[in-house]
A and B are shown apart, each in its own frame.
Chain A
Amino acid sequence: MQPQSQAGPRTLLSRFTALTDAFAYPLRTSHYLELVNPLWTTHALQAKVVSVWDETADARTITLKPGRNWRSHRPGQHLRVGVPIGGMHYTRTYSISSAPESEDETFTITVKAIGGGRMSHHLVRNIKPGDYLPIGVPQGDFYLPDANPVEPLFISAGSGITPIMSMLRSMVAQERLPHVTHIHYAPHTYDVIFGQELQALAAKHPRYQLHLIYTREPGETASQKRHFNPEILNSLCPDWGTRDTWACGPQGLLDTVEAHWHQAGVARQLRTERFRAQVAAAPKEVTAGTVRFTASGVTAASDGVINLLRLAEDQGLNPPHGCRMGICHGCDAKLTAGCVRDLRTNALLNEPGAIVQICVCAAAGDAELEV
Chain B
Amino acid sequence: MGMPTHLSNAEIEEFGREMDAIRNEVMDSRGAADRAYILKIIRWQRSLAFGGRIVMFLSLLLLPASALPYAGWPQFIAVLGLGAAMLGIAKILENMEIGHNVMHAQWDWMRDPNIQSNTWEWDNVCPSDQWKHSHNVVHHTWTNVFGKDPDIGYGVLRVTPQQRWKPKYLIQPVTNFFLNIWFQWGVAVHDVEPDKLLSGEKSIASVKHLLRGIAQKAARQLLKDYVLWPALGAVITVPFSLALDVDAGHIALLAFLWIAGANAIANLMRNVWSNVIIFCGHFPTGVQHFTKQDVEGETRARWYVRQLLGSCNIGGGKLFHILSGNLSHQIEHHLFPDMPSNRYPEVAPRVKAMAARYRLPYNTGSLTRQFGTTTWTIWRLAFPGGRVHALSV
Chain A positions within 8 Å of B, measured between CB atoms, are 22-23, 25-27, 31-32, 35, 43-44, 84-90, 134, 322-323, 325, 327-330, 332, 344-345, 351, 353-355
Q: Is the CB–CB distance between A84 and B35 below 8 Å?
A: yes
Identity of the chain B residue whose Cβ is nearest the Cβ of A351 in the assembled complex: B111
Interfacial chain A residues near B300, Cβ < 8 Å: 325
Question: With A and B bound together, what is the CA distance between A329 and B109 in angstroms?
Answer: 12
Q: Is the CB–CB distance between B110 and A329 below 8 Å?
A: no
Q: Is the CB–CB distance between B220 and A330 below 8 Å?
A: no
Q: Is the CB–CB distance between B338 and A84 below 8 Å?
A: no
Closest chain B CB from A194 CB (angstroms): 33
Which 4 pairs show the lowest CB-CB distances between chains A and B?
Answer: A87-B35, A322-B137, A329-B105, A26-B121
Identity of the chain A residue whose Cβ is nearest the Cβ of B116 in the assembled complex: A355
Which of B108, B136, B220, B221 is A328 in contact with, Cβ under 8 Å? B136
Which of B27, B116, B232 is A23 in contact with, Cβ under 8 Å? B232
Q: Is the CB–CB distance between A26 and B123 below 8 Å?
A: yes
Q: Is the CB–CB distance between A330 and B136 below 8 Å?
A: yes
Identity of the chain B residue whose Cβ is nearest the Cβ of A330 in the assembled complex: B137
Question: With A and B bound together, what is the CA distance between A44 and B116 in angstroms?
Answer: 14
Question: With A and B bound together, what is the CA distance between A44 and B50 in angstroms?
Answer: 20
Q: Is the CB–CB distance between A23 and B224 below 8 Å?
A: yes
Interfacial chain A residues near B78, Cβ < 8 Å: none
Interfacial chain A residues near B108, Cβ < 8 Å: 329, 332, 355
Q: Is the CB–CB distance between B221 and A329 below 8 Å?
A: no
Identity of the chain B residue whose Cβ is nearest the Cβ of A23 in the assembled complex: B228
Question: With A and B bound together, what is the CA distance between A90 and B109 in angstroms?
Answer: 11
Question: With A and B bound together, what is the CA distance between A26 and B111 in angstroms?
Answer: 21
Question: With A and B bound together, what is the CA distance between A329 and B137 in angstroms?
Answer: 8
Q: Is the CB–CB distance between B137 and A328 below 8 Å?
A: yes
Excluding A25-B220, A322-B133, 6 further A-B contacts by CB distance (< 8 Å) are A44-B113, A87-B36, A328-B136, A328-B141, A332-B117, A354-B111
Interfacial chain B residues near A332, Cβ < 8 Å: 105, 108, 117-118
Closest chain B CB from A38 CB (angstroms): 11
Identity of the chain B residue whose Cβ is nearest the Cβ of A19 in the assembled complex: B228
Q: Is the CB–CB distance between A27 and B46 below 8 Å?
A: yes
Q: Is the CB–CB distance between B46 and A327 below 8 Å?
A: no
Which of A35, A344, A345 is B47 in contact with, Cβ under 8 Å? A35
Closest chain B CB from A206 CB (angstroms): 49
Interface string of B198-238 (1 = CB under 8 A from A): 00000000000000000000001101100011001000000
Q: How many residues of B contact A (CB 8 A)?
A: 47
Q: Is the CB–CB distance between B113 and A87 below 8 Å?
A: no
Question: With A and B bound together, what is the CA distance between A61 and B50 in angstroms?
Answer: 38
Which of B104, B114, B121, B303 is A325 in contact with, Cβ under 8 Å? B303
Q: Does residue B64 face the partner (Cβ distance < 8 Å to A)?
A: no
Question: With A and B bound together, what is the CA distance between A22 and B220 in angstroms?
Answer: 7
Interfacial chain A residues near B193, Cβ < 8 Å: none
Interfacial chain A residues near B224, Cβ < 8 Å: 22-23, 25
Closest chain A CB from B46 CB (angstroms): 6
Identity of the chain A residue whose Cβ is nearest the Cβ of B108 in the assembled complex: A355
Closest chain A CB from B216 CB (angstroms): 11
Q: Does residue B346 face the partner (Cβ distance < 8 Å to A)?
A: no
Which of B36, B50, B136 is A322 in contact with, Cβ under 8 Å? B136
Interfacial chain B residues near A88, Cβ < 8 Å: 35, 109-111
Question: With A and B bound together, what is the CA distance between A134 and B110 in angstroms?
Answer: 14
Q: Is the CB–CB distance between A22 and B223 below 8 Å?
A: yes
Closest chain A CB from B332 CB (angstroms): 14
Question: With A and B bound together, what is the CA distance between A323 and B137 in angstroms?
Answer: 6
Q: Is the CB–CB distance between B228 and A22 below 8 Å?
A: yes
Question: With A and B bound together, what is the CA distance between A86 and B137 in angstroms?
Answer: 29
Q: Is the CB–CB distance between A31 and B31 below 8 Å?
A: no
| Residues of chain B in range 10-42 having any CB-CB distance to chain A below 8 Å | 20, 24, 27-28, 30-36
Closest chain A CB from B305 CB (angstroms): 14
Interface string of B43-81 (1 = CB under 8 A from A): 100110010000000000000000000000000000000
Q: Does residue B132 face the partner (Cβ distance < 8 Å to A)?
A: yes
Interfacial chain A residues near B122, Cβ < 8 Å: 26
Q: Does residue B140 face the partner (Cβ distance < 8 Å to A)?
A: yes
Interfacial chain B residues near A354, Cβ < 8 Å: 111
Closest chain B CB from A138 CB (angstroms): 19
Q: Is the CB–CB distance between B111 and A89 below 8 Å?
A: yes
Q: Is the CB–CB distance between B111 and A32 below 8 Å?
A: no
Closest chain B CB from A30 CB (angstroms): 10
22 contacts between A and B (CB under 8 A): A22-B220, A22-B224, A23-B229, A25-B220, A26-B123, A27-B46, A31-B46, A32-B46, A32-B50, A84-B112, A86-B31, A89-B112, A89-B113, A322-B137, A322-B141, A323-B140, A328-B337, A329-B104, A329-B136, A330-B136, A344-B24, A355-B111
Interface string of B115-133 (1 = CB under 8 A from A): 0111001110000000011
Question: With A and B bound together, what is the CA distance between A345 and B111 in angstroms?
Answer: 19
Question: With A and B bound together, what is the CA distance between A327 and B336 in angstroms?
Answer: 8
Question: With A and B bound together, what is the CA distance between A147 and B141 in angstroms?
Answer: 63
Interfacial chain A residues near B117, Cβ < 8 Å: 329, 332
Closest chain A CB from B37 CB (angstroms): 9
Q: Is the CB–CB distance between B337 and A35 below 8 Å?
A: no
Q: Is the CB–CB distance between A327 and B140 below 8 Å?
A: yes
Interfacial chain B residues near A323, Cβ < 8 Å: 137, 140-141
Centre residue among A25, A35, A344, A351 by max chain B CB count within 10 A? A25
Interface string of B321-352 (1 = CB under 8 A from A): 00000000000000001100000000000000
Closest chain A CB from B95 CB (angstroms): 11
A87 touching B24 in the complex, CB below 8 Å, given contacts A328-B140, A329-B117: no
Interfacial chain B residues near A355, Cβ < 8 Å: 108, 111, 116, 118
Closest chain B CB from A147 CB (angstroms): 38
Question: With A and B bound together, what is the CA distance between A16 and B99 in angstroms?
Answer: 27
Q: Is the CB–CB distance between A87 and B46 below 8 Å?
A: no
Closest chain B CB from A331 CB (angstroms): 10
Interfacial chain B residues near A26, Cβ < 8 Å: 121-123, 220
Q: Is the CB–CB distance between B303 and A87 below 8 Å?
A: no
Interfacial chain A residues near B141, Cβ < 8 Å: 322-323, 325, 327-328
Which of A25, A44, A330 is B221 in contact with, Cβ under 8 Å? A25
Interfacial chain A residues near B50, Cβ < 8 Å: 32, 35
Question: With A and B bound together, what is the CA distance between A43 and B118 in angstroms?
Answer: 16
Q: Is the CB–CB distance between B137 and A87 below 8 Å?
A: no
Question: With A and B bound together, what is the CA distance between A353 and B224 in angstroms?
Answer: 35
Question: With A and B bound together, what is the CA distance between A31 and B94 in angstroms?
Answer: 14
Q: Is the CB–CB distance between B24 and A345 below 8 Å?
A: yes
Identity of the chain B residue whose Cβ is nearest the Cβ of A41 in the assembled complex: B114
Which of A84, A330, A344, A353 is B110 in contact with, Cβ under 8 Å? A84
Interfacial chain B residues near A325, Cβ < 8 Å: 141, 300, 303
